[in-house]
A and B are shown apart, each in its own frame.
Chain A
Amino acid sequence: MDDLAAPLTRLIEELKRLPGIGQKSAQRVAFHLLRADRERVQNFADALLALKDQLGFCGVCQNITDIDPCRYCADGGRQRDCICVVEEPANILNIEKTREFHGLYHVLHGAIAPLQGIGPEQLRIRSLLERLRAPEGATPIREIIIATDPDSEGEATALYLARLIKPLGIRVSRIAMGIPVGSEIEFADEVTMLKALEGRRDL
């Protein structure tokens, strides 16, 4: 590393902080950018800065957006009495890909993680509760779908939300957990199988 010029070393060090990028990948990207023409590198740098300068949180659902409210909240064609709660903004894309959900979203930006000291107050739960107290004339919320991860942190978050929301007389549902499509029951462990049985449906 010592024999590389200082600007190259600096870029490699920055790249290495990105998820999934080690020394070799960082070097490859740095030399690639070094060979690229100035305009392309400028575009790349602008795109990075725009990410920080132009994006913010949707005032309604807390999704990452460049316009407030975000495209989902602003879309008058969406079903306004149902909110799907997710941990991260990226989770919305997975749900949108199904084209089956037409309601609104709420992004918590994490999950209750006792071992990391992350409690409910570090998540965007208060803004969710405010949405449930719909003002006069607005469509009242009928259902909350909790789509947090099927691990112990996602389950803790789901439990916590259900405890808060159910007393308000709103239906609270949890996405199904169980056997992944394309796998085999033979390889399912007891907790996966149990969740699959709990989440069974009529045919």
Chain B
Amino acid sequence: MPLREAQAIVLRTYPLKEADKIVVFFTREYGKCRGVSRGARRMKNGFGGSLEPLSEVRVGYFERPRKDLVTIDRCDLESSMMQLAGGDMTRVLALAYIAEVADRMLPEHEVNDASYRLLRLVLGRIREGLPVWLPLTYYLYWMVRLGGFMPSLAACAGCGVAIEAEQAAFYAGDGSGLRCRNCRPRQGNELAASERGLTGLLARSLAELPGDGWENGRRGRELRRFLHAAIEAQIEAQLKSWKLLEELENEPGI
């Protein structure tokens, strides 16, 4: 059983037995893995704050023959999410949602360098103080594109007619794509032209994008809902942290 070392981002943890944790972590070199960290819930443990979601760590672990769960030997914290959140509820919930999207979309043991770099980039920009709504929207946009299921924004998924740049468009929650006014689903949401236009911006590098205009959740809200619906349709499951984020977005002053 050789010790493997990897650069990783912790996605989530579950309690296991009396004092252990199961840790889901995403490594650059080996993809997403699950491991057991023994004694991680005890007061004095060698893991400190390294196992909190979205911590960037250097992890050492042993693979066990014919077992899915690896044994985590050590985990050194390089950058913490508890600092990243910076005492701000919006950031806390946005980060939880990002962690859940990553965990649910990434298959285990599959190297995915693009997704790894994307997640690091997004976390880095949040750490630099960019209003969280921009990196959040950027993350969703690119996870959908990297997943290969971005619905067409240029043509109606119902009748195939071109959706012009200034026209309103609509979609249902089932991931069946964007539709024109004539094919509008009965229980559908609107994706305004201005929100579709944001995709041109998001296609650029996040490092170039200024945070102006993203201070509150208004810009990109419809686009995030659209991308969220596409992700839920793709993974055929609900993302639990979305509801809290939506509730917060609807609070006055946010």
Contact = CB atoms under 8 A, between A and B. Distances in A.
Are both chains from one complex?
Answer: yes
Interface of A: 19-20, 112, 114-117, 119, 151-152, 155-156, 159-160, 163, 180, 182-183, 187-192, 194-195
A151 B52 contact: yes
Contacts of B12: 115
B87 interface: yes
Contacts, number: 81
Interface in B228-254: 240-241, 243-245, 247
A190 B77 contact: yes
A191 B17 contact: no
Chain A binding surface SS class: helix
Contact of A117 (B18, B44, B240): B240
A151 B47 CA distance: 12
Bin chain B's interface residue count. Answer: 20 to 34
Contacts of A191: 48-49, 52, 77, 80, 82-83
Nearest to A152: B52
A114 B18 contact: no
15 contacts: A19-B18, A20-B18, A117-B243, A119-B243, A152-B81, A156-B85, A156-B89, A156-B92, A156-B96, A187-B48, A188-B48, A189-B76, A190-B49, A191-B77, A192-B49
B240 A114 contact: yes
A19 B244 contact: no
B37 interface: no
Given A180-B43, A189-B76, A155 B53 contact: no
